[in-house]
Each structure stands twice: as structure tokens, then as C-alpha cells.
């Protein structure tokens, strides 16, 4: 499966992507912003994750790598996780390698993913969670029309640090994409 935008392409991860994904998701500026426990410990963990994706897709979990359309280079990943089709909702996640920050790639990738969630998966509500300290993620979600629903104070302890989590949502009727 491939989703195409003006600057990015979203496609299913391949085993040949594992090394790049592992090297980039284990960089502190990335994994320190992701949910605890999502950092692979070894390259083989990333390979196993990619191998299990077809099984996860059967339950509605969808993960894509973000590829720069012009160069064909990998830039990050986005996904829809924990779908509840009975309730028509799911959570979005995204990360982009630092060298691509601030250039609109994450916004375009998430726009493609949001359209996929609302149109293809027939979801009514998409959710996003980030640490309160992750201003880039908060600004991105707000720029896409997500509304802050609340802050869970001292909700996560990660690497000995107590963090607040911000919960955002976007309803299909609010989406202008």
C-alpha cells in the first residue's frame, strides 16, 4: 500500500528499511519523545517488528515509513494504533528524523494518514498523545485541527523523569483535509 502526497510517500516498511529505522528511532531526540518501551533494543527487534506488521494490519494497526518523494530517502514513520472499530476511533503516532524537522514533512505525512483513517478505515475520531514538554508535537497536532482534551498530570515516568501527557483528538466532522 502506498499513499502519495506532494512531498512525501507513505508505504509499508520493508526488511531493507530496518537498519535505517533502528539507527534513527534510537537517537535520543526521537526515542525520548516516543512512548516508553517503544525504543528497540537491538536491530533484530526492529526486524521482528517489521515481520509482525502484516499480522497487526489484520486487526487494523497500520504502520508506514515516510519517504521523501523527491529523493526516495526514508524520513520517519507514522501509524494508526489501537483501533477500536466498534467505537470508530484510533490513535495516531508519528516521528520524523531531525534533519527533516520544520519542513512540513510530518504535517503532510499526518494529513495523508488522517485522510486514510477517516476515509478508508471509516473512523470518526482520531487521537494523539504527547508529552506536554514536546512543543513540536503539540504545535503539529494543533495545526492539523486536533483539540486538546486534557493534560494527565505526572502520568508517565520515563528514565526517572515524571512527565505530563497531553491528549488530543480530531473528529471527522472537524477535518478539513
Q: Is residue 172 part of a domain?
A: no
Domain count, the chain: 1
Torsion angle (degrees, nearest 10) of CA 75, 133, 148, 158: 90
Q: What is the reported pTM?
A: 0.91
**CATH number of the domain within which 44 lies:** 3.40.630.30
Residue 27 is given by DSSP the state: S
- Calculate ∠ Cα 175-141-54, nearest 5°: 80
pLDDT tens sequence for the chain (177 residues) = 799 999 999 999 999 999 999 999 888 888 778 776 666 788 998 999 899 998 888 888 899 999 999 999 999 999 998 889 999 999 999 999 999 999 999 999 999 999 999 999 999 999 999 999 999 999 999 999 999 999 999 998 887 889 999 999 999 999 987
Print the domain residue range for 76.
2-124
Neighbouring C-beta atoms of residue 177, cutoff 10 Å: 12
Amino acid at each position: 500500500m502506498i499513499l502519495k502526497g506532494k512531498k512525501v510517500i507513505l508505504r509499508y516498511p520493508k526488511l531493507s528499511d530496518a537498519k535505517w529505522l533502528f539507527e534513527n528511532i534510537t537517537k535520543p531526540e526521537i526515542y525520548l519523545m516516543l512512548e516508553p518501551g517503544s525504543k528497540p533494543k537491538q536491530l533484530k527487534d526492529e526486524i521482528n517488528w517489521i515481520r509482525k506488521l502484516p499480522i497487526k494490519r489484520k486487526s487494523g494497526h497500520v504502520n508506514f515509513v515516510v519517504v521523501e518523494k523527491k529523493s526516495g530517502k526514508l524520513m520517519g514513520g507514522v501509524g494508526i494504533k489501537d483501533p477500536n472499530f466498534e467505537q470508530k476511533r484510533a490513535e495516531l503516532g508519528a516521528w520524523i528524523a531531525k534533519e527533516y524537522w520544520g519542513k512540513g514533512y510530518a504535517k503532510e505525512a499526518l494529513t495523508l494518514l488522517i485522510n486514510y483513517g477517516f476515509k478508508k478505515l471509516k473512523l470518526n475520531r482520531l487521537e494523539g498523545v504527547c508529552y506536554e514538554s514536546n512543543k513540536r508535537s503539540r504545535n503539529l497536532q494543533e495545526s492539523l485541527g486536533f483539540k486538546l482534551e486534557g493534560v494527565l498530570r505526572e502520568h508517565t515516568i520515563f528514565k526517572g523523569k515524571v512527565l505530563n501527557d497531553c491528549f488530543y483528538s480530531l473528529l471527522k466532522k472537524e477535518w478539513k483535509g
